């Protein structure tokens, strides 16, 4: 029995006990007592299950659990029953009712023996990553997949059906970006890092499951045109002290340590996690800028590596005021210290392909990134229904970045550029607050009403300065220096109503949101204020045709507000011939999303097939301008996009030692748009696939390999090349599963590359980037009732 099944069983037993207790006031009670111990260690077993069941029907009558010293006491008024004593990983003990029953049955000391075969089966079940379907979402339960051992949340997401994470760390859902990331159903500082920093301190071992909401109902924030990914973190529910410790080493050079401890009693649950370590992230890039007009070519090959030290600490507690009221408080602190050395080697060739200039641009960047997160949550459960509840949460977070980048240009041939020094200074800070109230009220087993409100506040400050070394002193460049302020407040109100019986379900909803956004470039006094309100309806339905076939359908309207990375006009000028910057004048995207999905189970094969369509207006696309051999990328709102696609997921276990799963997605898109008199009307397609194979080998060794492929595709300006790569892992359990040894490899063949090309009438750009192979060896140990690999402390990112 898994932990989840055990918890559900205890809930049912508790409910049955309450019902029986009301009827027992007029009947004769029999008290049953005893103590449960481990047969080998003679230590008490806390939370063992004591079950009283009917001898004829075998149905449960009453149940309880043992306390911290292994003892138990419960009463019953039944006349024909047996007693079962069990605990996960142990063999059951069954006692028949004594013939001459008195008011007291003393079972004395009960010794339970470990069931090694059963324990192994439970562990295997817990390790499989499985997908389950709900009315308006899919849930990907994260197991201890071998290739993800020691990985980051980004790499776990890359194993989730419908989700892709490219080599630049950009997350897409069904081939489209604009995905909203939530942590435990709410925005979080852990998922709001800038650029590649997002989700950096969350590891695979911290994640319990991921909810994939491709067509969100009105209950969810309307943000995210392609859907929502909700990452649910683990919070150990076993009583007593439980935990695990992990150590990882890897290549490129990395070391990390992780510790997870949980202490739970009847009225209090304290949970904490600690991670620390250091890691090196290399990147190799080759690029060309070709000027078609004068037939000149500039090539650049570069190498940089981010060497990072990180710390992550989480402390929280659940206070059970009573069985219906829980308060949760938590605080998270993460700190990253980065130093990034790098070199860009440039060469210039004339129209006759003669080398005329050569120079090198060196970089050394230092950055400190502290993050704080705070959360207060109150949940009230009402007695009349298990799903009748009220939930209030208040979340605050802060992120700051203090960085300095020093660049130096050294000319070795020609005079295309001059020797010089440049300094980029960034003082950045962000504060975010989210206040949310949700109320769920079932009116029967079939009808449910949900309503609530959310208020989101975001304040950002970015002081950016570029300095040049002139005449023995640093001089600020006024054309590249400014202060950017960004303030956004979003108020949302929603209501949904649903009907669901054994065969058919329907959910209707509407959400009203008001957005107030202000941006300011302080030095140049450039302001922009936006205030707009929008209604976001949603419809979801499901129908169970048979035990093996079900259908789901849904519609929702979504919004994608441009984020700070897209609005911020500044960027580090690492490669000063290929520059990216934001656009503070961007408008939001709006999307109408439709989908139909079938869920089939044929023997040992599970199949899911779906079709979908999205229509998006004011599409945010990255454009490129080219001047003086310098390309500058900036996002703009350009036209509309129609996307129609088909998606397939399948899983097959031909034997108990082999499991295969596949995920494939194909979509066809039609773009319409115009910018500065140039038409961007075109059509294209994109498909991606994954194949995962898991094998159980002799001597308790398990092996897994996952292959990934994404086809080339055409963008408004830029074309992207294909991506193909494989991840693999091998695992061995020792000491009855308490110690686990993992060896995993990301991008086994170092084949994953970011390839892009842009061809225009006056210029051609090409870029090829790779990060190489990552190998991690980890050992983890679980203590108390904890399991190994709860948290590795590993810090990974693209």
Q: Report the run of H or E that residue 118 belongs to, with start and end.
A: helix 116-127
Euclidean distance between CA atoms 339 and 471, whole angstroms: 28
From the candidate CATH numbers 3.40.50.300, 3.40.190.170, 2.60.40.10, 1.20.1250.20, the one assigned to the domain spanning 3-114: 2.60.40.10
pLDDT in tens, 38-71: 887 787 887 788 888 888 777 777 778 887 778 8
Q: What sign does the dihedral 553-557-560-561 (CA atoms) show?
A: negative
What letter would DSSP give residue 152? Answer: B
What residue has token string 């992780």?
Answer: 258
- Report residue 26 CA to chain centroid gap: 54
Residue 308 in this model has a pLDDT that exceeds 80:
yes
User: pLDDT at position 206, please?
Assistant: 64
pLDDT in tens, 526-537: 898 999 999 999
pLDDT, average across residues 660-664: 86
pLDDT in tens, 108-117: 899 988 765 4
Residue 169 in this model has a pLDDT that exceeds 70:
no
pLDDT band at residue 503, thresholds of 50, 70 and 90? Answer: confident
User: pLDDT at position 214, please?
Assistant: 74
- HEC string of 442-505 equals ECCCCEEEEEEEEEEEEEEEEEEEEEEEECCEEEECCCCCEEEEEEEEEEEEEEEEEEECCCEE
What is the residue extent of each domain of the chain? 3-114, 240-572+580-746+753-784
Structure tokens at 667: 């979509």
Euclidean distance between CA atoms 269 and 16, whole angstroms: 25
DSSP-based helix, strand, coil % in the chain, nearest 5: 10, 65, 30
pLDDT, average across residues 460-476: 92
Q: What is the mean pLDDT of the chain?
A: 82
Residue 17 in this model has a pLDDT that exceeds 60:
no
CATH class of the 240-572+580-746+753-784 domain in this structure: mainly beta
Better pLDDT: 305 or 24: 305
User: pLDDT at position 157, please?
Assistant: 74
CB atoms within 10 A of CB 319: 14
Structure tokens at 152: 């980051």
Q: What's the pTM value of the predicted model, to 2 decimals?
A: 0.72
Euclidean distance between CA atoms 663 and 692, whole angstroms: 9
Q: For 392-405, b where at least 16 C-beta lie within 10 A, e where not — what string?
A: bbbbbbbbebebeb
pLDDT in tens, 102-138: 788 888 899 988 765 443 333 333 344 555 666 667 7
User: pLDDT at position 45, please?
Assistant: 85
CA distance between the termini of the chain? 38
Where residue 655 falls (left for φ over 0; alpha for ψ -120 to 50; beta otherwise) is beta
User: Is the separation of the CB atoms in 258 and 791 below 8 Å?
Assistant: yes
Residues 6+ apart with CB under 8 A from 524: 482
What residue has token string 């898109």?
Answer: 669
The segment with the largest mean pLDDT, out of 298-302, 385-389, 517-521, is 298-302
User: pLDDT at position 366, please?
Assistant: 95
Q: Which of 348, 442, 375 is nearest to 183 (CA)?
A: 375
What letter would DSSP give residue 24? Answer: G
- The region of weakest confidence among 322-336, 395-409, 728-742 is 728-742
Better pLDDT: 141 or 278: 278
Structure tokens at 356: 């005329």
pLDDT band at residue 180, thresholds of 50, 70 and 90? Answer: confident
The phi and psi torsions of 474 (rounded to 5 degrees) equal -85, 130
Residue 270 in this model has a pLDDT that exceeds 60:
yes
Structure tokens at 388: 């009748």
User: pLDDT at position 23, please?
Assistant: 39
What residue has token string 């070199």?
Answer: 343
User: pLDDT at position 199, please?
Assistant: 58
Residues 6+ apart with CB under 8 A from 5: none
Residues present in the chain in total: 798
Q: Which of 774, 776, 780, 775 is nearest to 798 (CA)?
A: 774
User: pLDDT at position 650, please?
Assistant: 83
Q: Report the run of H or E that residue 746 belongs to, with start and end.
A: strand 739-746
Euclidean distance between CA atoms 283 and 344, whole angstroms: 12
pLDDT in tens, 531-581: 999 999 999 998 888 878 888 899 999 998 887 778 888 876 788 888 888
pLDDT, average across residues 477-495: 93
Better pLDDT: 60 or 226: 60
- Report residue 409 CA to chain centroid gap: 40
Q: Which of 212, 152, 222, 191 is nearest to 512 (CA)?
A: 222
């Amino acid at each position: 029995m898994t932990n989840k099944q055990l918890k559900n069983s205890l809930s049912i037993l508790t409910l049955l006990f309450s019902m029986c207790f009301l009827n027992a006031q007029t009947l004769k009670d029999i008290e049953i007592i005893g103590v449960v111990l481990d047969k080998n260690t003679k230590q008490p077993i806390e939370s063992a299950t004591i079950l009283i069941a009917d001898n004829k029907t075998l149905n449960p009558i009453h149940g309880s659990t043992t306390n911290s010293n292994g003892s138990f006491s419960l009463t019953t008024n039944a006349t024909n029953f047996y007693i079962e004593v069990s605990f996960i990983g142990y063999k059951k003990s069954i006692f028949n009712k004594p013939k001459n029953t008195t008011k007291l049955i003393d079972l004395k000391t009960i010794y339970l023996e470990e069931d090694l075969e059963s324990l192994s089966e439970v562990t295997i079940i817990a390790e499989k990553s499985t997908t389950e379907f709900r009315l308006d979402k899919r849930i990907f339960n994260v197991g201890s997949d071998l290739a993800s051992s020691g990985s980051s949340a980004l790499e776990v997401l890359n194993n989730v059906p419908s989700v892709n994470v490219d080599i630049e760390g950009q997350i897409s859902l069904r081939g489209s970006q604009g995905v909203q990331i939530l942590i435990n159903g709410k925005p979080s500082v852990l998922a709001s890092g800038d650029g590649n920093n997002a989700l950096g301190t969350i590891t695979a071992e911290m994640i319990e499951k991921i909810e994939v909401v491709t067509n969100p109902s009105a209950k969810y924030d309307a943000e995210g045109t392609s859907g929502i990914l909700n990452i649910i973190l683990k919070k150990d529910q076993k009583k007593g002290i439980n935990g695990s410790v992990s150590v990882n080493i890897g290549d490129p050079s990395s070391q990390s340590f992780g510790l997870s401890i949980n202490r739970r009693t009847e009225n209090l649950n304290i949970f904490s996690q600690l991670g620390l370590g250091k890691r090196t992230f290399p990147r190799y890039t080759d690029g060309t800028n070709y000027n078609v007009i004068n037939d000149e070519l500039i090539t650049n090959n570069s190498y940089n590596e981010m060497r990072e030290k990180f710390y992550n600490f989480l402390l929280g507690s659940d206070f059970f005021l009573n069985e219906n009221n829980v308060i949760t408080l938590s605080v998270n602190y993460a700190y990253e210290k980065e130093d990034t050395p790098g070199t860009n080697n440039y060469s210039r060739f004339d129209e006759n392909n003669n080398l005329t200039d050569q120079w090198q641009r060196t970089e050394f960047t230092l950055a400190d990134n502290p993050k704080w997160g705070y959360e207060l949550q109150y949940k009230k459960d009402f007695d009349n229904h298990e799903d009748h509840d009220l939930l209030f949460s208040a979340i605050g977070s802060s992120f700051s970045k203090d960085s300095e980048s020093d660049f130096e240009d050294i000319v070795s041939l020609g005079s295309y550029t001059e020797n010089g020094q440049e300094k980029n200074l960034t003082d950045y800070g962000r504060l975010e607050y989210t206040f949310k109230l949700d109320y769920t009220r079932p009116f029967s087993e079939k009808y449910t009403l949900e309503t609530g409100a959310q208020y989101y506040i975001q304040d950002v400050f970015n002081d950016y300065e570029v300095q040049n070394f002139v005449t023995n002193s640093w001089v600020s460049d006024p054309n590249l220096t400014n202060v950017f302020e960004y303030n956004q407040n979003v108020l949302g109100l929603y209501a949904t109503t649903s009907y669901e019986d054994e065969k058919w379900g329907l959910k209707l909803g509407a959400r009203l949101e008001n957005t107030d956004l202000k941006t300011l470039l302080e030095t140049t006094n450039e302001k922009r204020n936006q205030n707009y309100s929008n209604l976001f309806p949603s419809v979801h339905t499901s129908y169970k045709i048979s035990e093996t076939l079900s259908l789901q359908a849904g519609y929702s309207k979504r919004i994608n507000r441009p984020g700070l990375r897209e609005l911020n006009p500044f960027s580090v000028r690492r490669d000063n011939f290929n520059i990216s910057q934001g656009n503070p004048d961007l408008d939001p995207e709006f999307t109408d999303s439709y989908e139909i999905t079938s869920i089939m189970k044929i023997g040992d094969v599970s199949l899911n097939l779906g079709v979908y369509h999205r229509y998006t207006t004011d599409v945010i696309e990255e454009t490129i301008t080219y001047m003086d051999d310098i390309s500058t990328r900036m996002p703009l709102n350009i036209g509309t996009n129609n996307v129609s696609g088909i998606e397939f997921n399948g899983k097959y276990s031909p034997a108990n030692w082999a499991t295969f799963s596949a995920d494939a997605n194909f979509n066809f898109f039609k773009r319409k748009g115009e910018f500065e008199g140039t038409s961007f009307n075109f059509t294209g397609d994109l498909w991606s696939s994954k194949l995962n194979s898991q094998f159980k080998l002799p001597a308790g060794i398990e092996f897994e390999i996952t292959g990934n492929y994404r086809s080339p595709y055409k963008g408004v300006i830029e074309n992207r090349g294909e991506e193909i790569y494989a991840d693999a892992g091998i695992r061995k359990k020792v000491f009855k599963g308490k110690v686990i040894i993992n060896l995993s490899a990301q991008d086994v063949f170092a084949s994953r590359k970011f390839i892009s090309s842009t061809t225009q009438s006056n210029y051609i750009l090409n870029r090829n980037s790779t990060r190489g192979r990552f190998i991690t060896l980890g050992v983890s140990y679980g203590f108390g009732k904890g399991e190994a690999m709860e948290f590795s402390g590993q810090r990974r990112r693209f």
